[in-house]
A and B are shown apart, each in its own frame.
Chain A
């Protein structure tokens, strides 16, 4: 519920947490599959494929964990639907306008009181 640039941008991603998790897990599964193949069947000529495979396996784990972490964060902290997101933005604006109106009213009341005190002089 924080304001600010990054948080504001991030809050929009809450609505696509399911596709993000699905894409990250599919992509990482694919990477794990090909990476595992390279590690299990090393080339007799060069060690580069094996190292690349190992890197791919590691990266797949990182991608999967990032997707999972983002999902958990979005589930707990971000608006889960477009309606929630819209309400968050509009509600924030409504509260800001409400606070401005209160401040204006207080200032006006203060001016009236001050004018009342000055009048007898």
Chain B
């Protein structure tokens, strides 16, 4: 068996999301190859704790403990568990605290050699083609050794002062060790708050940090996803909230950026040939909900508009009284104008509410279905169906009205625009259904999603045809 592809996930500081990223990378690689996920943080054991429940219910294979690394330990504690299709996790018991001092005192080249040999042995035992090393948060010897062993290392950082100092310190210390060949390290910005946008971080990286990473491109930018962090410790994470998250989308892009030139055959088939426009969009888009669909933003606009609608005519009336001017008269809005403006704002708000409800219901139903809470899934599915049917029938009634009364051009434009806006989320549902079937092989779930979109459209079409 040839040498397994090894990817190390390291950071200059703890709490930046290394474990979550390691799990995401391992999960994506497991779509195409047998993948081994290793917890190299022997003392905190975050990954081991995360998969503890899954390991207890999965087929396990005992393996030798890394005595060359951590000294003599109790036999039988070290297992490789098959926690997910094609995904294997190394599980182990307690490691003596004194080992930590020994590891830090060990010669780094020697440590890298022993670690490399142990990873190769484990991959051989589990017949894995890919190994993901989740390291301790901070510049410890094991992280440096992992960087030397791995073909690619991912240094996770956050866009804040403290983490950046830690990141640069990690790079400096690693460079001081004089590893030959120089490890291939790429930077990832994780947990990016909404105050930052991707353009700024890419520019910052190119201007100040690229030379520290051998002029490689910034590998990925992950937005902070609070609901994901909350759900992370609740298994089953990989089959519930993960598939719809930006973490999944961005990890596919990360792997594509990392492997498409040197080892495209290792990329899972599903994202081996992404369209250039898709890669560009995912790189520059943080995947956040558009501002125009945020209710806070809409309420702000509504408040400003109402204030202007009340104050401008009042001001214009005062100006007109002082010095009559034809333009001042034009600012005295008619009742019809006010109604159109306010009506447009209310429709905008309703569309935002509709899109938000559709998304929330979809997440609720998917989560309930995948956690086997069937009653919740059925209830969520029925409400979702009602909402979709409502939008389909509203769109069809608008189209019907357009077919029968096509006198007013502006009303026609409004009707057509509204119909498209109401039908777009249904199209999105259908597209997600297609992806469920194509990528995840979830036939029932994908079929239900396509049905949710198809039934309202079919009802609408029948409605329009009968009306004609």
Residue ranges of A at the interface with B (Cβ–Cβ < 8 Å) = 1, 33, 36-37, 76-77, 79-84, 86-88, 90-92, 94-95, 97-98, 101-102, 105
Contact = CB atoms under 8 A, between A and B. Distances in A.
A88 B204 contact: yes
B172 A33 contact: no
25 contacts: A1-B204, A1-B208, A36-B327, A76-B199, A80-B200, A81-B195, A83-B196, A84-B196, A84-B197, A86-B161, A87-B160, A87-B164, A87-B196, A88-B200, A91-B159, A91-B161, A92-B208, A94-B168, A95-B209, A97-B168, A98-B168, A98-B169, A98-B212, A102-B175, A105-B176
Interface of B: 159-161, 164-165, 168-169, 171-172, 175-176, 193, 195-197, 199-200, 203-204, 206-209, 212, 325, 327
A94 B200 contact: no
A91 B169 CA distance: 13
Nearest to A77: B203
Q: Which of A37, A77, A94, A102 has the most CB of B within 10 A?
A: A94
A83 B168 contact: no
A33 B327 contact: yes
A36 to B, nearest CB: 7
Given A82-B195, A94-B168, A98-B172, A87 B161 contact: yes
Contacts of B165: 94
A83 B169 CA distance: 22
Contacts of B172: 98, 101-102, 105
Contacts of B195: 81-84
A93 B168 CA distance: 12
A37 B331 CA distance: 14
A81 B203 contact: no
Given A84-B197, A90-B161, 10 more contacts: A1-B204, A77-B203, A79-B200, A80-B197, A84-B195, A87-B204, A94-B161, A94-B164, A97-B168, A98-B172
Contacts of A76: 199
Top 10 nearest A-B pairs (CB, nearest first) are A83-B195, A1-B207, A98-B168, A90-B161, A81-B195, A95-B208, A94-B164, A84-B200, A94-B165, A87-B159
Given A37-B327, A101-B172, A105-B176, A91 B204 contact: yes
A1 B175 CA distance: 26
Q: Which of A1, A88, A98, A105 has the most CB of B within 10 A?
A: A98
A38 to B, nearest CB: 11
A37 to B, nearest CB: 6
B37 to A, nearest CB: 32
Contacts of A82: 195
B248 to A, nearest CB: 26
A101 B169 CA distance: 10
A94 B170 CA distance: 13
Contact of B164 (A1, A84, A91): A91
B203 A1 contact: yes
B63 to A, nearest CB: 40
Nearest to A95: B208
